[in-house]
Amino acid sequence: MTGAVETIKVTRDEAGMRLDRWFRAHFPDVGHVYLQKLLRSGQVRVDSRRVEANARLEAGAEVRVPRVVRQPPKAASGETKVVPPASKADRDLIESAILFEDDDILVLNKPFGIAVQGGTGTRRHIDGILAGMVDRFGDRPRLVHRLDRDTTGVLLIAKKRDIAAKLGRTFQTRAAAKTYWALVKGLPTPRQGKIEAALVKASGPDGDRVRKAEAGEQDAAMHATTHYSVIDRVANRAAWVSLKPVTGRQHQLRAHMAMIGHPIIGDNKYEGGITQIMEALEPKLHLHARRLVLPHPRAGKPPIDVTAPMPPHMLRSFELIGLDPNQFERGEIKAPGKPRRQR
């Protein structure tokens, strides 16, 4: 790092990411329009070259970034952008979702159906609500990772910019252990295994989704690995599985389970729609971020270890089909069995 510029190396886990998405993960306060301006002026470069926002990054590539992007975003007038205070309803939503809080960290149990971050047509989201609660937290809380709109469970938030950077590095080095619970169609065989399938993003009539990379798509493919384990089952009709993603790709768990023929129930995008056998279940995604374990970013503090209660719709589904969610407190994966690979 020198003067007003810093250089950040792309990790192996980030290989294949588009530059704009990489930038969003590292600098969530920087909008797309501002990033385009930085690219056009050459202030952001990759390996000293000017690139487009959709350029794919390689492991080890060096991204040149002006240090100004770490400062609070500015409005067109040059003044700091003013975020309106969160409504009482939104404040109550956040307060009721808190699983853990200290001076540096906030962990939420994200409800079903609310987006984590804004996008086209999305005005109400967790990130925006937190931005309107500066009076509560003393600074703008920052997202450390993401969950899909309809995925519930553990969501990690940093209360300070330096803490967000430290936690971001923790996720990049895979020092964070994430466990998800899902209800899937059929019974995966073997009962424990590993799914390794590189993913590429593809547009469709129902929005963006990911699929298995095909021959010739290596440059755009994103390496993805998931461990799975069957906790319990309902004959061969449905299974309660524990999922541990090694990588953190968009829709990774949903796509991987569909690839091995056992899509997550309620996932219409990945062939998990409710069928006649499961018609009594609510047509909602049955995927829950159950547990997160990682080192605390402050030296000397105990590790963060948070478990999120299951959402109401999954509890009702378990009761309907005769599964006991208390059978295993955390649904841990033991040593994986024979790997099941998708290449």
CATH of the domain at 43: 3.10.290.10
Q: What pLDDT is attached to residue 21?
A: 77
H/E stretch holding 23 reads helix 19-26
Which residues, 6+ apart, have CB-to-CB distance to 195 below 8 Å?
225, 226, 227, 228, 256, 257, 259, 260, 340, 341, 342
CA atoms of 110 and 151, how far apart (whole Å): 8
* Same domain, yes or no: 181 and 315: yes
* Same domain, yes or no: 185 and 311: yes
Please give the structure tokens belonging to residue 194.
């590993």
Q: How many domains does the chain have?
A: 3
Q: Which of 22, 43, 70 is the last residue of a domain?
A: 70
* Same domain, yes or no: 185 and 313: yes
Which of these, 249, 246, 250, 198, lies nearest to 220 by C-alpha position? 198
* Same domain, yes or no: 247 and 280: yes
Is 75 part of a structural domain of the chain?
Answer: no
Is 311 part of a structural domain of the chain?
Answer: yes
Residue-wise pLDDT tens for the chain (343 aa)?
445 788 999 887 777 778 887 887 788 777 777 888 899 889 999 999 999 888 888 889 999 998 877 765 554 444 455 678 899 999 999 999 999 999 999 999 999 999 998 877 788 999 999 999 988 998 889 999 999 999 999 999 999 888 998 998 898 888 999 999 999 999 999 999 999 999 998 876 666 788 888 887 877 788 999 999 999 999 999 999 999 999 988 899 999 999 999 999 999 889 877 665 567 888 999 999 999 999 999 999 999 999 999 999 999 999 999 999 887 654 444 433 343 444 3
For every residue of 90-134, DSSP letters joined together read HHHHHHHHEEEE-SSEEEEEEPTT-BSS-BTTB--BHHHHHHTTH
The angle subtended at Cα 82 by Cα 76 and Cα 141, nearest 5°, is 120
* Same domain, yes or no: 275 and 184: yes
Q: Which residues on adjacent β-strands are paired with residue 243?
A: 180, 228
Active-site residue, 148 included? yes
How far is Cα of residue 246 from the mean position of the Cα atoms in its chain?
A: 12
Q: What pLDDT is attached to residue 74?
A: 53
Phi, psi torsion values for 301, nearest 5 degrees: -90, 150
Q: What pLDDT is attached to residue 82?
A: 64
Q: Which residues of 200-211 are buried (b: 16+ CB within 10 A; e: fewer)?
A: bbeeeeeeebbb
Q: Parallel, antiparallel, or unpaired for β 105-110 and 304-307?
A: unpaired
Enter the DSSP assignment of 69: G
Q: What pLDDT is attached to residue 12?
A: 77
The whole-model pTM stands at 0.76
CA atoms of 237 and 228, how far apart (whole Å): 17
SS3 for 36?
Answer: helix
CA atoms of 92 and 182, how far apart (whole Å): 27
Q: Do the Cβ atoms of 46 and 59 come closer than 8 Å?
A: no
The angle subtended at Cα 323 by Cα 321 and Cα 328, nearest 5°, is 165
CATH code at 126?
3.30.2350.10
CA atoms of 25 and 222, how far apart (whole Å): 15
Q: What pLDDT is attached to residue 289?
A: 98
Is 333 part of a structural domain of the chain?
Answer: no
Q: What pLDDT is attached to residue 326?
A: 85
Q: What pLDDT is attached to residue 328?
A: 67
CA atoms of 8 and 161, how far apart (whole Å): 17
* Same domain, yes or no: 54 and 189: no
* Same domain, yes or no: 306 and 193: yes
Q: How many CB atoms lie within 10 A of CB 316?
A: 15
Q: Is the peptide bond before 190 cis (omega within 30 degrees of 0)?
A: yes
The residue annotated as part of the active site, out of 104, 148, 150, 267, is 148
SS3 for 317?
Answer: helix
The domain in which residue 162 lies consists of 88-172
Q: What pLDDT is attached to residue 339?
A: 39
Q: Parallel, antiparallel, or unpaired for β 209-212 and 225-234?
A: unpaired
Q: What pLDDT is attached to residue 340?
A: 42
Q: Which residues on adjacent β-strands are paired with residue 182?
A: 241, 287
* Same domain, yes or no: 33 and 150: no
Helices H / strands E in the chain, number of each:
8, 15
Question: What is the length of the chain?
Answer: 343
Q: What pLDDT is attached to residue 75?
A: 46
Q: Do the Cβ atoms of 268 and 157 come closer than 8 Å?
A: no
* Same domain, yes or no: 241 and 291: yes
SS3 for 40?
Answer: helix
* Same domain, yes or no: 155 and 266: no
